[in-house]
């Protein structure tokens, strides 16, 4: 993450702490908003949190706080105010009029990050779809000035409303087109998943910036590690975990989660997240060194419920243990999460332990079988090695005896092979 340059856009961050809520949660949310802003290389010139009994329905922050922020924005030459919450269209309008600078809420900021990080046509379509869903209810008021400027003459009265209706129609048509295209992509993924059903699949899930991409690179030896930025990965990346077991194990990395991730954004990424729903095993990757790891775990689990992947077997992986400041923290982690595996993407030994855990999980799905092949059936050995885990091979005078582990599906494939003339 590069530091803001002299040319970086200057922004002010603002949030509201409701007195009925936990102050620590508000502080954590603001810290996360700061990280989101830095991901876009914005220059944060000020931060402010307003304590209130309830949100102001008209201006979100309240008239007095807006006046204070407007003065601060002029003093610091700020160009954007970023609110740690979701604004209604009217609230955004009121704040912009008072501040005389651009206003973004948390959802818009996340959409900007997704837009900047989208690399493939699919991810660009997904981000555009989420943006259009966000904008659709906010079109009201964008053309209202046409009605105001019409005055009492009446010749152009209603032009604003007409323009809104045109924009709504165009937006809905574009949404329908994008949803159709993404449904087609999802169908293609389903076809690919059927082809892979004889392979084991593992999906890495977790909070954004938990180190999933770097972990994937470490255990497969392929690809590049992730950037130290939020939402550095939007596209699904799949790699083979070779040399562990047969059939092959495929590992997939995908978009991370975050607190208050807009629902329409998760819905737009349903085709990408299908690799999570169809996985045999989930590696729930947690940043062990994060001071808010408990909240991050909860957010991930809530997101898995939302996408329908909460019933898939899961192995918790506490990553980045090399960043723990105190050895006692590792002891606490082991006691708090006794079933979790503690790893560092920089430590080959801990990664080997993770590979063994993955192999053990899939071996439990297999059954041990003794397989006797006639010499004529020896031609099928390469395929048997592809489909099964071969534990031992003994060559007799007129036969080859193998002790194997195989899933029921793969055992059926082997039997069909041996029935061939």
Nearest one of 2, 84, 86 to 38, comparing CA atoms: 2
> What are 149's two structure tokens?
């400027």
Compute the distance between CA of residue 229 and CA of residue 280 in angstroms, rounded to an integer.
Answer: 28
Position 193 scores a pLDDT of: 60
Whether 79 and 100 have beta carbons less than 8 Å apart is answered as no
Position 325 scores a pLDDT of: 85
Q: Using only the alpha carbons of the chain, give its radius of gyration.
A: 27
Find tokens 């002299």 and name the residue. 6
pTM of this prediction?
0.74
- Tell me the sheet residues that pair with 12: 46, 81
Position 397 scores a pLDDT of: 87
The interaxial angle of helices 348-364 and 212-220, nearest 10 deg, is 80
CATH code given to domain 10-113: 3.40.50.11060
Each of the 421 residues of the chain gets a pLDDT tens digit; together they read: 444 445 789 999 999 999 888 888 888 889 889 988 998 889 999 999 989 989 989 999 988 999 999 999 999 999 999 999 989 888 988 999 999 999 999 988 888 888 887 777 877 888 888 888 888 777 654 444 334 444 433 334 444 455 566 777 888 888 899 889 888 887 887 776 666 566 788 999 999 888 898 899 899 887 555 555 666 666 678 888 876 666 778 898 887 888 877 777 777 777 677 888 888 899 999 999 988 888 899 999 998 998 889 999 999 999 999 999 888 999 999 999 999 999 998 888 999 999 999 988 888 878 888 999 998 898 999 888 888 888 899 999 889 999 998 888 788 888 888 887 6
Report the residue count for the chain: 421
Evaluate the CA torsion angle 359, 365, 371, 376 in order and state its sign: negative
Listed by start position, the domains of the chain span 10-113, 118-188, 199-363, 366-419
Nearest one of 262, 271, 273, 270 to 132, comparing CA atoms: 262
Nearest one of 170, 11, 25, 189 to 103, comparing CA atoms: 11
Decide whether 10-113 matches 199-363 in CATH topology: yes
C-alpha distances in Å from residue 226, one per residue of 215, 275, 331, 351? 9, 19, 28, 17
SS3 42: coil
Compute the distance between CA of residue 397 and CA of residue 211 in angstroms, rounded to an integer.
Answer: 53
Whether 242 and 236 have beta carbons less than 8 Å apart is answered as no
Contacts of 15 (CB under 8 A, 6+ apart): 26, 29, 30, 33, 48, 49, 50, 83, 84, 85
Compute the distance between CA of residue 245 and CA of residue 242 in angstroms, rounded to an integer.
Answer: 7
Alpha carbon 202 to its chain centroid, in Å, reads 15
Find tokens 């194997």 and name the residue. 404
Whether 108 and 264 have beta carbons less than 8 Å apart is answered as no
Position 28 scores a pLDDT of: 84
Contacts of 173 (CB under 8 A, 6+ apart): none
Compute the distance between CA of residue 219 and CA of residue 319 in angstroms, rounded to an integer.
Answer: 13
Position 224 scores a pLDDT of: 59
- Tell me the sheet residues that pair with 341: 317
Nearest one of 355, 321, 357, 316 to 337, comparing CA atoms: 316
Nearest one of 132, 72, 86, 79 to 101, comparing CA atoms: 79
> What are 23's two structure tokens?
């102050």
Compute the distance between CA of residue 69 and CA of residue 13 in angstroms, rounded to an integer.
Answer: 10
C-alpha distances in Å from residue 275, one per residue of 186, 236, 254? 10, 8, 8
Contacts of 218 (CB under 8 A, 6+ apart): 225, 345, 346, 348, 351
Q: 199-363, superfamily in CATH?
A: P-loop containing nucleotide triphosphate hydrolases (3.40.50.300)
């Amino acid at each position: 993450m590069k530091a803001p340059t002299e040319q970086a856009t200057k922004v002010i961050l603002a949030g509201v702490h409701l007195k009925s809520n936990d102050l620590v949660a508000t502080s954590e949310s603001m810290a996360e908003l700061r990280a989101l802003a830095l991901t876009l290389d914005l220059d944060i010139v000020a931060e402010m949190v307003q304590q209130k009994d309830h949100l102001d329905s008209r201006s979100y922050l309240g008239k007095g706080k807006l006046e204070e922020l407007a003065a601060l924005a002029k003093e610091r030459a700020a160009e954007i105010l970023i609110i740690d919450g979701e604004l209604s269209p009217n609230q955004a309008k009121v704040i912009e009029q008072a501040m005389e600078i651009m206003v973004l809420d948390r959802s818009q900021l996340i959409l900007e990050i997704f837009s900047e990080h989208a690399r493939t046509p699919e991810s660009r379509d997904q981000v555009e779809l989420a943006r259009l869903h966000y904008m659709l209810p906010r079109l009201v008021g964008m053309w209202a000035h046409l009605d105001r400027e019409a005055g009492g003459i009446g010749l152009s009265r209603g032009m604003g409303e007409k323009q809104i209706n045109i924009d709504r129609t165009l937006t809905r048509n574009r949404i329908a087109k994008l949803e159709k295209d993404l449904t087609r992509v999802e169908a293609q993924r389903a076809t690919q998943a059927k082809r892979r059903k004889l392979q084991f699949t593992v999906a890495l899930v977790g909070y954004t910036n938990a180190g999933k991409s770097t972990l994937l690179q470490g255990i497969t030896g392929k690809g590049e590690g992730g950037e130290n930025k939020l939402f550095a990965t939007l596209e699904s990346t799949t790699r083979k975990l070779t040399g562990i077991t047969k059939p092959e194990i495929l590992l997939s990395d995908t978009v991370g989660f975050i607190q208050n991730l807009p629902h329409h954004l998760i819905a737009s990424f349903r085709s990408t997240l299908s690799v999570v729903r169809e996985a045999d095993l989930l590696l729930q990757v947690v940043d062990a060194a994060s001071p808010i790891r408990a909240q991050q775990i909860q957010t991930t689990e809530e997101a898995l419920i939302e996408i329908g992947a909460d019933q898939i077997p899961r192995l918790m992986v506490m990553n980045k243990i090399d960043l723990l400041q105190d050895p006692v923290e590792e002891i606490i982690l082991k006691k708090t999460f006794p079933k979790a595996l503690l790893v560092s993407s920089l430590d080959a030994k801990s990664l080997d332990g993770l590979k063994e855990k993955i192999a053990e999980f899939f071996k439990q799905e297999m059954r041990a079988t003794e397989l006797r092949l006639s010499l004529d059936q020896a031609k099928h050995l390469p395929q048997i090695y592809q489909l099964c885990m071969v534990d031992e091979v003994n060559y007799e005078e007129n036969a080859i005896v193998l002790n194997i582990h195989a899933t029921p599906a793969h055992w059926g494939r082997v039997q069909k092979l041996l029935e061939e003339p």
